[in-house]
Structure 1
Amino acid sequence: MRKAIIFMIISALSFSVLNILVKDLRHFNVYQIVFFRSIITLCFTIPLLVRNKINLLGNKRSLLLARGTIGFIAMTLFFTSLQYLKTGTAVSIRYISPIFAAIFAVFLLREKIKWNQWIYFAIAFLGVLILKGFDTDVSTIGFLIVLASAVLTGLVFILIRKIGASDHPLVIINYFMGISAIISGMFTLFYWETPTSLEWLTFISLGVFGYFGQYYMTKAFQTSEINKSAPLKYIEVVFTMLAGVFWLDEKYTIIGLIGAGIVVTGVVLNTIFVSRK
């Protein structure tokens, strides 16, 4: 369990740094940011697939293509929302995606939602309503964009469930990053802005921190029981808020902190409940 905690903390820190770096590059077009986030991660995944002799094309290719395409749109929307919202606020709202995944599962996988979960969902949505309704710092455009990202991320979870164990996790990530690199690369041709030497380092770091965040999250889930390690993932919200305050000089209102806290509480309770089933 100690290893799982360390792995999850490393993962949360990595994703938090990724979020802050994206926010720091907000004066660049979002497609250029997505392109570097994807292409650098591919530099890790492709060699690993080749070295382990894993089929790059995978088995459930139509589902892999759908997961990659929808994942690309969700990531692009999330990165776009960071141009309008504080990083901690955007991450908090994005984390209601498991709720949308559960709702999609009812219609697409014929699963049932327990009454306990509806209570946890209501708690999380109450936090969202507080953020949007009472925190005057929350932009309506940014809120709608990150909400759309959360909905699509929920659909991504369903697609990954449908893929199941038919394909290696690296193949799923590789499709996601490959499709994102191709589509964003085409748009980047029209919006390219040459980075400075320090900005080049920041762009490269996007893919590095994104990969390690994903890698150590997987290691945490492999090392311990899901119900013990999964709730730790949400410390990313805390790390991101702290990084935003000290790195980007972001300021959060008391209402904003309460709303984010309620969102995370509802989602964590649902995660624990589902993991123990």
Structure 2
Amino acid sequence: MLLFVASSSLFGLMAFIAKLASVRIPGAEVALLRFAVGFVPILLIPSIRKRSFAWTRLDLLLYRGFFGGTAVLFYFVAIAHIPVGIATLLNYLSPVFAGMYAAVFAGEPLRARIMLPLGVTLVGVWLVVTAGAHGPSFLGFGKWELVGLLSAVCSGAAVTAIRIARRTESSWAIFSSFSLFGVVVTAPFAIWSWVTPTPYEWLLLVLVGLVSIAAQMLMTHAFRWVQTLIAGVISQLGVVVAMFLGTIFLAERLTPRSMIGTVVTLAGVVTVIIVSKERCADEIEP
């Protein structure tokens, strides 16, 4: 369990470092370089490379890679424009959408008892984002908050593809498709708005990739001993870490209303995980 706590904390730390890097570097560029760094072990280690490209269901891996890459793109763009804690909170709503997609595309039942925690989650999110929406709003959601929400929508689709793909694909095959298609998805936007990083920014960008790899490896290792249900609940620690670091080191304002909304949202998401027994940590892997 300690390994999973460490993994979730590292994912929160990764979001914080991405926020530091995106002070001047566009979010799309940060996302591209995050994927590029993550792809290095696949290219350099022969044993990993062989397993990474042993693909069986190309269609599912394409869905996973495309939606996963798009989710990270939206997530990092949101991080660049709104407080890192709020961006992370919105991204971590993916279990809610994953449950909906699984009901539609994987034939999994959508239990009636999931509707109450789903409603609680939505109320919590509304409390958080309306406490300080950035830019013109729609139902209280600023455009960058909506981008963060879209990251969860896409992440939920990617998680659904993962759950189906696991029947035939290895973990490395799924990871390689995520990295490869992530590069493809983010590259056009990153190149279009490219800003040459300074040495300090290069350090931050490399750290984003390295920390995400470390978090992913710890998570994969921890799944040998931690039940899926417990893992999904612990993964929400990433939101707390990102929000804490943003508040302490970036002076991001956390109002009483947003704090209440955060607690309500996390409680709703955790309840959704418990009721649906979804594995939500797989995609936070950005």
State the TM-score, normalized to the length of structure 1. Answer: 0.90
Equivalent of 1:69, from 63, 66, 70?
A: 66
Shift of 1:57: 4.5
**Structure 2 residue aligned with 1:104:** 101
- The offset of 1:250, in angstroms, is 1.2
2:77 matches 1:80: yes
Q: Is the contact made by 2:42 and 2:52 (CA closer than 8 Å) also made in structure 1?
A: no
Number of matched residues? 271
Q: Distance in 1 between matches of 2:101 and 2:42?
A: 29
- With over 3 angstroms needed to count, the CA separation of the structure-2 counterparts of 1:146 and 1:52, relative to structure 1, is closer
Structure 1 residues 257 and 52, CA gap change in structure 2 (3 angstroms): same
Unaligned runs of 5+ in 1: none
Q: Is the 8 A contact 1:49 1:56 kept in 2?
A: no
Name the residue aligned to 1:95. 92
Correspondence for 2:9 among 8, 13, 32: 13
Residue 157 of structure 1 aligns to a residue whose secondary structure is helix
Q: Give the helix-richer structure, 1 or 2.
A: 1
Indicate if the aligned counterparts of 1:77 and 1:148 stay in contact, CA closer than 8 A: yes
Q: Which residue of 1 aligns with 2:229?
A: 227
Cα distance 1:43–1:266, how it changes in 2: closer, same or farther (>3 A)? Answer: same
Deviates most, 263-272 or 219-228? 219-228
Please give the alpha-carbon distance, in whole angstroms, between the structure 2 residues aligned to 1:76 and 1:213.
19
What are the Cα deviations for residues 90-148 of structure 1, in whole angstroms up to 9, with x where unaligned? Answer: 11122221111111222212222222211111111110121234x13555111111111
- Of 34-43 and 244-253, more deviation after overlay is shown by 244-253
Question: How far apart in 2 are the matches of 1:183 and 1:225?
Answer: 32
Identity of counterpart residues, as a percentage?
Answer: 23
- What is the CA distance between 1:161 and its match in structure 2? 1.6
Equivalent residues in 2 for 1:139-178 (5 A)? Answer: 139=135, 140-178=142-180
Change (3 A) 1:55 1:143: closer
Paired residue type of 1:241 = M
Unpaired segments ≥5 residues, structure 2: 136-141, 279-286
Native 8 Å contact 1:20 1:244 kept in 2: yes
Say yes or no: does 1:29 pair with 2:26: yes
Note the C-alpha offset of 1:61: 0.8
Q: Distance in 1 between matches of 2:228 and 2:144?
A: 32
CA contact (8 A) 1:92 1:237 kept: yes
**CA deviation map 1:183-232 (0-9, x unaligned):** 43344334332222111111111110111112212222221222233211
What is the Cα deviation at residue 45 of structure 1? Answer: 3.4
Cα distance in structure 2, aligned partners of 1:224 and 1:98: 18
CA contact (8 A) 1:56 1:171 kept: yes
CA distance in 2, matches of 1:236, 1:120: 20
- Indicate whether 1:259 and 2:261 are aligned: yes
Report what 2:281 is aligned to: none
Structure 1 CA distance, aligned partners of 2:182 and 2:132? 33
Relative to structure 1, the CA distance from residue 189 to residue 69 in structure 2 (aligned partners, 3 Å threshold; closer, same or farther) is: same
Secondary structure of residue in 2 paired with 1:251? coil
Q: Which residue in the other structure is 1:189 paired with?
A: 191
What is the Cα-based RMSD across aligned positions, in Å? Answer: 2.0
CA offsets per residue over residues 141-192 of structure 1, 9 Å max, x none?
1111111111111111111122123111111111111122234334433433
Aligned-partner SS, 1:182: helix
Q: Would the aligned equivalents of 1:127 and 1:263 in 2 still touch at CA under 8 Å?
A: yes
Q: Is the 8 A contact 1:226 1:275 kept in 2?
A: yes
